[in-house]
Structure 1
Amino acid sequence: MQIVRFRVHPFFYMVILCGLPSMLLAQSGSTDSLLHAIDRHPQRDTDLVILLNKVGRLYFTKDPVLTEKYGREAIHISDSLGYTSGAMWGKRNMALAENSRGNLDKQMDFTTDALKLAEQLNDIHATSVLNADIGNIFIEQSKPELALPYQKKALYLKQSLRDQAEVARSLNSIGSCYLLLHKPDSALFFLYESEKIKLSLNDHKGLAFTYENIGHILYDKGQYREALRYYEISEKYYRESDNLPGLTKAYLNLGRVNTALRKYTDAARNLSDAAKLNEHLQNAKNTMIYYKYQASLDSARGNYIAAMSSYKEFSRLSEQYFNVEKTKFIASTKEKYESEKKQRENEMLKKEQLLHLSTIKIQQKFVIFSIMLFFVLSVITSILFRMYRRQQDLYLQLNNRNKRVQQQNLIILEQNVALESASQVKDKIFSVISHDLRSPLAILEGMLFLLRDDKMSSQQFRFFVDELWRDMKNTSSMMDNLLQWASSQMKGMRVNADDFDITAVLNREFELLLSLAKQKNISLTHQLSHAIMVYGDPDMIRLVLRNLISNAIKFTPALGNINIRYLMLSEKIELIVEDNGIGIAEADQPKVLSNIYYSTGGTQNEKGCGLGLPLSKDFIERNEGEIWFDSQVGKGTSFHFTLPLSEEENNTRRGYMFTITTDQLKNITQESVVNEKS
């Protein structure tokens, strides 16, 4: 999917800045009018419950303590009146207050209770909103696979009601799920759909969440400047809607992206603003994130002592947060168990009392047989009804436990997949070490053993030095590829992109590659004669060049030719490594750049581990390039790959041929030996 980049016109910023004070005053005026209406409404009726719930909802982002206060009062009055709808929305406000404090377990309990009431009332709007709330809780708990079904159900209900504002919120939440599932293209699809609706409704409050999520995706892709722009717009909209929890997250996001952009002063100010806001909110999760980002900032500045201190605090708070959540879960589970136990005991006592009373009444009214019979039948009917209700409750409990078991099974399956991947990496490493690395080391060990015991003269040993040196360089290259591949497979590889000179990178590798070519009497040339600035990770590109040229040497016979040339395109450079070697069979060509780890021996039986070309493909694609090849058996192979040019690169310059033959290399080597001796 192509990413559509959002660009904000300067006039749009002016509209936001001019309209912000009036919007805040309007919201403040609405809250004040509702409070005034509550003060002038002393009667404890359903109208008062509605006012309390509205005020509590408005205070959710500013003062969760007041939200909890008004929600609790609304529930109390609703219970006394038997007003189910009022109790439902009161419980939802209680859940939102717990969310502001980071108490997700308590939020889940209140939301689940509210959802039961909504389903009891057959209130489709409330059911859709509460399903979305449960999905959002799972998102905050980093359980997108559990959140997605609730969000999709909420979206279906909202679409049936044609409530565009709520549809936009659900689209945003589904985008968050796919973001956590590491499916950025799917996430962007739903986020852009949400953005369209919110822009049509001028819903700045909702757009704050959407732009924050888009910023996360761009940050994960390494597009830090684009991410910064979305985070800044999100921060403005959170401030416009007076959403303190959202504003805290916005400052944390700005601190992280400014650190990545090396704007350390701005990053420090953002993190400081987040810490000040969180002092009021007391959100433990935001406190952890603050110390984590502060450690990254201190490390980037080179203040490693402060970075270590911040990271220790982050680790301490993480452990404390986990212990607190675990304690809350245990306490909640224990409380539910005790409540269910007491309920069962009360029901048993009631049943025993009913049976006892029925026996007494039967004995007292034995003479009036018809009345006694009617009473007995009534009691039996009541008991059967209670047993039926109890059976239904047990069935619901069993279903809930089955759902928990299914959730645990999903977690176990995910862990098994991760272990399977790690096992494959381990097996590949052991396979290469046991089969491809031991052989050259064993040969070297044998040669040294013969030389040490004077069973081989120095002259005989020198006869094998070139071949041994070539084997050891091949072994070293295999080790580099193996380590880089293992790091990539374990998801520890990060792209450190920057502007660099591709010619300088090639020249640093060229002397070693010329020596390898000399061993096989191969002519190795390249046409990169001047600086060409590209944008990417120089270490990754260095390994790609080494792999492609080493492969060309490996599959080119003696007296062959290898040439490295380039083409300057509009916004990128195309590098070409071509040889006149043995070529690649057409049946084997689909395996070369795949993850099959296909490997064959070279023209002098050189060995490889089959990781170089798949690893090179992975590195080129990580650096926003493409790689392909053309090959004919007996005629040779040419590998092509592209890299984006640096912005300041002058594309008008042209290169010329730079050729070093094996005879020239020999003369250069002899001169360097003489210089070293002198």
Structure 2
Amino acid sequence: MYSRLKSLLFFLPVLLTGNLFSVVFATNDSLYNILSQSGSSQLSSNLNIIFQDLLRTNPSEGLSLGLRIASRIENEKNEKLFADYCYYMGSFQLRLSSEDISESYFSKALQIRRKQNDTEGLIRLLIKYAYLKIFFSDYNASSEMLMEAENLNENQKSPFHKTDINVAKAILYYIVEDRVVADSVIKAAITEAEYLGYEEGLNLALEHQGIISIALKKYDEAETVLLRAEKSVIAIGDKLMTAGLYDNLATLYTFMGQSEKAIDYVKKGLSLKKEMNYKWGDIVANSILGSVYFNMGKRAEALKLLEESFTVIQEKGYKRGIRTLASILANLNERAGNADAALKYFKIYKNISDSLRLEENLMIIESRKVEGDQKKKEAEIEKQAATARLNNLYITAVLFAGLLSLFIFVYVWLNRTRMRNINNGLAEKNRQLATDNDELEDLHQRLEKTGAEKNMLFGVFSHDIKNPVMAVMGYSEMLYEDYETMTVQEIRENLLKAKNAGVNLSNLTDNVLNWSLLNLDRLTVKNEVFAPAEVADKVLNIIESHAALKNISVISMADSAIRVSSDPNLYALLIRNFLTNAVKFTQPGKTVELTILMTDDTLITVIKDQGLGISDEIIDEILSGKAKSRRGTGSEKGTGLGLIICKAALEKLSGTMEIESALNEGTRIVLRIPVSEVTA
């Protein structure tokens, strides 16, 4: 029963608001003048155009205009015109929740259209009438009307009518609890509407899909389709349907436990309905807000809102609305422990339900009076009355047993819900503690990394930069003071050492600068057209003095014809650091090779040395960016910045690095960088 009450709650906005579109319309007096002054040949087309617009924008205005023009319609003595008039007046009354009057108009229109074999008009009327029968809970009649419309459309073959019929059938299946079938039918209707570009049918189908998905607890799916429908109806300026979608979204977010979103959508829907002076706006909004507040723990405020809505709808004598709100209030008061109030509203719910059921039975009896003579009708009525009495006795017994079962079920359900909420609260606290621990661990690791980087930077400035500066100064001072006593060879050697110290200082400065840009996230890629061989030659000119000191040959096998589009500075940074490392770890008298070639839009750079080699453990550290500096074969020191920067530069260039090495035999490093080759 509780799930049924929930269904009534979120179906209420759909029944009250309907599917309306916003258009610009003239004043009532202007429209009345147009219709009253139209000739007989123009009256029918003008009435259809004006009433269709008012049906979509302002049914209250349409009803007022229809009552004013009634005498003119009757004087025309035109049955088709009168059937159209009754169709629109019934639709206005349905939109304004005057269902009994609506049925009177629809019944007259149905009789005329069947008589005239107006298939097109009859299909539209049957679909609309089926919705009204759903509202009256006369599901058999609704189903029969939709079947009749479907049979008529077999000859008409209108894909638009087919879509409208499927949308209505989906709602009927949903109401009678066949929600899986409803879900399948409404999705088929959405596919049809999308294929046809039928915007009106698509928007209505999306809204109904959202409602059905809520019933099936497919909340993510419901959110997707309702937000899609919201975007569409806002784009076409459909304020009334937008307001209805806001109510459905508010109901969805209530079930999803997202109270703030639910409240926001309720307020937006209420604002639109107040703007359009929609008389049911406060009632729908307060009904949804009441449920939201109740779930938020604001029980007193929730019950107050629902009771205010109940009072208003009770004053208006809207029995189905009274029944729905009485069901909700009975349920919520029972959950809140207000036994007296729960019993009060349950009695109201039962009385109204009995009254409506009696009205429905009377409608059935009335519809059958025309089928036979007076004696047969009286006998049939008596028979039905006797059957009704027996049914009442049976229903009373069933209701008593049902109430007892309901009380037991609700009691057990509330206890289970309370325990589930406690368990969920504990689980949430555990998740929060785990999240806090993860954040603390992450912060600890970042602090350790920052400390290590700070120590490394201090070491660079206090020692690694100071050493080459002192070397340059020392060799310069020696040359200045002793050059007269030095041989030319000694002078050249000292100048070469000073140059090498300057080159080391320049490389170190570049690495510190690039390391700083990396930490500030300013190391960017600037694409230019360049020849990799030319970049390699410039790098070789820089490091050749260091290689010469160790008697190491650096051989370049770069294809000078290759021209690519990439970042030449980052590329120079990569090969300079890798070649410097190759020279650093190669024994004097050995060879370092540089090979550059292109394969399938990939620039391949290979640096091969005959040095000390690298262990698998250190290779893993290099690839993960955690390698520490080691002394070279000439006791050269390093900072460890070069490999860190090279790894970052490769990532910026979307490149990869492969390392093949054997201890005491040498290392081969392959860099693969995706580029665009430029032809001359």
TM-score, length of structure 2 as denominator length:
0.45
Q: Which has the larger radius of gyration?
A: 2
TM-score, length of structure 1 as denominator length:
0.45
